[in-house]
């Protein structure tokens, strides 16, 4: 596939597929006597995009002879700013010719999105607060238009091919394993993504550049029903691995199960803690390896991977989140159970202060009858003990 840059002007429809997309946001001149920076930015993108595939550059500049429709253009800008991979804010503010008042509003709406690059000449006035917000939100800041374009291309990388409704999923979400798993499942069922609007991302890492959670308002064509479902939000995160550690009793009710207690903010339990199986999420691709690590981290118990019995992966709450839990079971010895009992007052966790867990030991009957765990965890425990 050849390298191609397509420029889409205000109120125009973009091509039906692309590999990367950027939006040029910033002030437009109020007079034809003032040169528009957008054209220079487009030229830089045309010079510097060298990857195979199609880069689409959206510019709010009107083509000659196109009637300006402010309301329609505002809707056009909002739609495609949501869809693109990077929004380039270049703010060469001039209080007489380009005061950039609307730009301030747009920038405030997008600065925390994780897909903004900010640039401005050092001499441009009244950009101090915009620079402060950029620093607070991990936004790259550049002093020249050429460097700002380079920063945008660095975020795009080689892109990823998307067509039709897939174009509305920015790279930061498209590239996550959790989105790809959801999308594969929909396609395998014969369904088609009509459109998506990413409403929220929760990003982690030193530069806050790794999307951990995402939420997207989606429209999906449901093949079996020949209709479009458009009133739901898909929420997802990396898959989890959960381990049911148990010591068999005389009956199922007498079987002892190892839980961990941890404060989690969404909990609506009497004590404010969640009571669950040892486990957690990881971006690694080997659930068995991270299951072993989670047991060690949260309980202190070191298990060989071959002691884990895999029970498959399922969604945990299919009407709420697309992520899955990979369930494992491991029978522990009497000595290991005694060792864990002795550690019930010893906190576990990641050691960084964000996670603190406490071992709890209960029979299956107590877990069920005293409502110690949520429905999903009860189901996992039941599956592990019945298998």
Q: What does the pLDDT average to over 201-220?
A: 92
Lowest mean pLDDT among 14-18, 116-120, 332-336, 345-349: 345-349
Looking at the predicted structure, is the pLDDT value of residue 68 above 60? no
Domain check: are 124 and 216 in the same one?
no
pLDDT value, residue 282: 79
Domain check: are 225 and 252 in the same one?
no
CATH number for the domain spanning 362: value is 3.90.79.10
Whether residue 163 lies inside any domain: the answer is no
pLDDT value, residue 262: 96
End-to-end CA distance of the chain, in Å?
50
**Structure confidence by residue, pLDDT tens digits, 354-367:** 889 999 999 999 99
For residue 283, what pLDDT band results from cuts at 50, 70 and 90?
A: confident
pLDDT value, residue 36: 81
Whether residue 52 lies inside any domain: the answer is yes
Q: What is the DSSP string of 325-380?
A: EEEEEEEPPHHHHHHHHHTTTS-BS-SSSS--EEEEEEEHHHHHHTT-S-HHHHHH
Looking at the predicted structure, is the pLDDT value of residue 145 above 70? yes
Looking at the predicted structure, is the pLDDT value of residue 335 above 60? yes
Among 236, 263, 284, give the residue marking a domain's end. Answer: 236
Q: Which residue has the higher pLDDT, 349 or 53?
A: 53
Domain check: are 379 and 326 in the same one?
yes
| Dist. CA 165–CA 300, nearest whole Å | 46
| Dist. CA 82–CA 202, nearest whole Å | 16
Q: What is the DSSP string of 257-320?
A: EEEEEEE-TT--SSSSEEEE-SEEE-SSS-HHHHHHHHHHHHH-----GGG-EEEEEEESSTTT
Cα 55 off chain centre by: 23
Contact status, residue 310 vs residue 288, Cβ threshold 8 Å: yes
Domain check: are 11 and 152 in the same one?
yes
What is the bridge-based pairing of β-strands 86-90 and 20-25?
parallel
**Structure confidence by residue, pLDDT tens digits, 227-244:** 999 999 999 999 999 999
Q: Is 80 exposed, middle or buried (0-12, 13-18, 19+ CB in 10 A)?
A: buried
Paired residues of 325 in beta bridges = 240, 314
Domain check: are 36 and 98 in the same one?
yes
For residue 327, what pLDDT band results from cuts at 50, 70 and 90?
A: very high
Whether residue 198 lies inside any domain: the answer is yes
**Structure confidence by residue, pLDDT tens digits, 374-386:** 999 999 999 999 9
For residue 29, what pLDDT band results from cuts at 50, 70 and 90?
A: confident
Paired residues of 6 in beta bridges = 56
Whether residue 310 lies inside any domain: the answer is yes
Measured at the CA of 337, the angle between CA 333 and CA 341, to 5 degrees, comes to 170
Lowest mean pLDDT among 154-163, 178-187, 204-213: 204-213
Residue 376: name the closest of 297, 314, 291, 330 by CA: 314
Looking at the predicted structure, is the pLDDT value of residue 206 above 90? no
Lowest mean pLDDT among 9-13, 163-167, 241-245: 9-13
Place of tokens 């199609």: 54
Domain check: are 56 and 91 in the same one?
yes
Lowest mean pLDDT among 29-38, 134-143, 205-214, 279-288: 29-38
Domain check: are 184 and 147 in the same one?
no
Q: Which two tokens stand for residue 374?
A: 């949520």
Whether residue 169 lies inside any domain: the answer is no
Domain check: are 382 and 285 in the same one?
yes
Domain check: are 148 and 7 in the same one?
yes
pLDDT value, residue 80: 97
Domain check: are 130 and 33 in the same one?
yes
The 3-state secondary structure of 171-202, one letter per residue = HHHHCCHHHHHHHHHHHHCCCEEEEEEEEEEE
Lowest mean pLDDT among 55-59, 165-169, 349-353: 349-353
Contact status, residue 201 vs residue 53, Cβ threshold 8 Å: no
State which residues form the domain around 111.
3-156
Looking at the predicted structure, is the pLDDT value of residue 66 above 70? no
Whether residue 219 lies inside any domain: the answer is yes
**Structure confidence by residue, pLDDT tens digits, 90-106:** 999 999 888 999 999 99
Paired residues of 263 in beta bridges = 273
| Dist. CA 104–CA 97, nearest whole Å | 16
For residue 34, what pLDDT band results from cuts at 50, 70 and 90?
A: confident
User: What is the model's pTM?
Assistant: 0.92
Domain check: are 81 and 114 in the same one?
yes
Looking at the predicted structure, is the pLDDT value of residue 32 above 80? no
Looking at the predicted structure, is the pLDDT value of residue 1 above 70? no
pLDDT value, residue 67: 52
pLDDT value, residue 352: 66
pLDDT value, residue 33: 75
Residue 110: name the closest of 24, 50, 221, 179 by CA: 24
Whether residue 162 lies inside any domain: the answer is no
Whether residue 75 lies inside any domain: the answer is yes
pLDDT value, residue 69: 60
Helix pair 101-110, 70-83: axis angle to 10 deg: 30
| Dist. CA 225–CA 9, nearest whole Å | 37
Q: What does the pLDDT average to over 306-316?
A: 96
pLDDT value, residue 281: 87
């Amino acid at each position: 596939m050849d390298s191609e840059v397509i420029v889409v002007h205000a109120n125009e429809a973009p091509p039906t597929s692309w590999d990367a997309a950027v939006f040029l946001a910033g002030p437009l001149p109020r007079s034809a006597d003032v040169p528009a920076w957008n054209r220079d930015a487009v030229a830089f993108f045309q010079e510097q995009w060298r990857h195979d595939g199609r880069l689409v550059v959206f510019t709010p500049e009107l083509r000659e002879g196109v009637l300006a429709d402010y309301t329609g253009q505002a809707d056009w800008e909002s739609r495609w700013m949501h869809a693109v991979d990077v929004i380039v804010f270049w703010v060469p503010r001039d209080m007489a010719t380009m005061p950039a008042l609307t730009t301030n509003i747009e920038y405030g709406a997008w600065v925390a999105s994780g897909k903004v690059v900010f640039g401005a000449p050092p001499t441009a006035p009244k950009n101090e607060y915009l620079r402060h917000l950029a620093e607070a939100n991990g936004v790259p800041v550049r002093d020249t238009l050429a460097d700002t374009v380079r920063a945008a291309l660095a975020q795009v990388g080689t892109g990823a091919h998307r067509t039709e409704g897939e174009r509305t999923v920015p790279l930061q979400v498209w590239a996550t394993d959790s989105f790809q798993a959801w999308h594969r499942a929909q396609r395998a069922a014969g369904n088609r993504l009509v459109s998506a609007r990413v409403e929220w991302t929760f990003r982690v890492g030193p530069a806050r550049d790794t999307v951990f959670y995402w939420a997207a308002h989606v429209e999906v064509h449901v093949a079996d029903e020949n209709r479009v479902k458009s009133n739901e939000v898909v929420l997802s995160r990396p898959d989890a691995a959960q381990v049911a550690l148990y010591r068999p009793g005389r009956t199922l009710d007498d079987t002892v199960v190892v839980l961990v207690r941890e404060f989690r903010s969404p909990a609506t339990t009497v004590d404010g803690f969640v009571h669950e199986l040892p486990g957690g999420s990881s971006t690694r691709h080997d659930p068995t390896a991270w299951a072993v690590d989670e047991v060690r981290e949260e309980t202190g118990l070191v298990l060989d991977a071959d002691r884990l019995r895999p029970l498959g992966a399922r969604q945990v709450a299919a009407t709420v989140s697309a992520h899955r839990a990979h369930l494992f079971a491991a029978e522990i010895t009497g000595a290991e159970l005694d060792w864990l009992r002795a550690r019930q007052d010893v906190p576990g966790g990641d050691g960084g202060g964000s996670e603190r867990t406490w071992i709890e030991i209960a029979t299956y009957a107590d877990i069920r009858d005293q409502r110690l765990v949520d429905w999903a965890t009860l189901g996992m425990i039941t599956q592990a003990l019945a298998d």
